[in-house]
Amino acid sequence: MKKIIVLLFLLIIFYGELHYVDLRQFQSESKQVEVKGEVKKPGIYEVAIHASVEEILTLAGGCTKEGDTSNLNLTLDIENHGVIVVGKHQAPKLISINSASLEELDELKGVGPSIAQRIIDYRNQQPFKTLEELKNVKGIGDRMFEKIKGQITL
C-alpha cells in the first residue's frame, strides 16, 4: 500500500505540471449576423464581435419607410450567426363605433364597460353619422374624444 502511495506521489510531482493555454487566441474578433425584413440592404454582415443591433442596422443601410424597430433592443450585443428581423409598421386597428361589440369598445383608452354600453345604447336609437357625435354620449367629453379619435371609425 505504501508503494502505491509513493508511486502516486511521484507521478503527481513529475506529471502534475499545469500548462496554461491562452484561450484568447481561439476567440474571434468578428461575427456574422444576418439582417432581414424592412432594411435597405438585407444580407449577411461580418461585424466586430461586440457590435450592437443599431450598428449592424446602420451597415444594412437603415430601415425602409415601412421599417419598425420598436420591438428591437438596439443596444443588444447579438450572438455570432444571429438574425435580426425588422418588421413593418402595423396600422392601428380601428374600432367602428356603429358596429363594435361592448368588448371592442371597452378596449378604447379611457372607455370602460359602462361608457361602452352607453355608446351601444346611443347608436341603437340612431347610428352615428360623424365621429364628433360620440361627444353626445354621457361621459365622453372633448378630452376623452381627443384620446380615442385615432382609434375609431364609423
Residue 9 domain flag = no
Nearest Cα residue to 123 out of 139, 99, 148, 147:
99
> Is residue 109 predicted with pLDDT exceeding 90?
no
Q: Provide the pLDDT for residue 10.
A: 72
Same domain as 147, residue 104:
yes
pLDDT in tens, 23-62: 767 777 889 999 999 999 999 999 999 999 999 999 999 9
Are both 108 and 135 inside the same structural domain?
A: yes
First to last CA, the chain: 95
- Condensed to tens digits (0 to 9), the pLDDT of residues 112-128 reads 888 888 888 888 888 88
Tell whether 15 is covered by a domain: no
Alpha carbon distance 83, 35 (integer Å): 6
3-class secondary-structure state, position 88: strand
pLDDT at 16 (0 to 100): 59
Q: How many structural domains is the chain composed of?
A: 2
Cα(104)–Cα(117) distance, rounded to whole angstroms?
Answer: 11
The residue range of the domain holding 114 is 95-153
Q: Write down the residue that cell numbers 352607453 correspond to.
A: 118
Residue with cell 437603415: 62
Neighbour-count burial of 56, counting CB atoms closer than 10 A to its CB (0-12 exposed, 13-18 middle, 19+ buried): buried
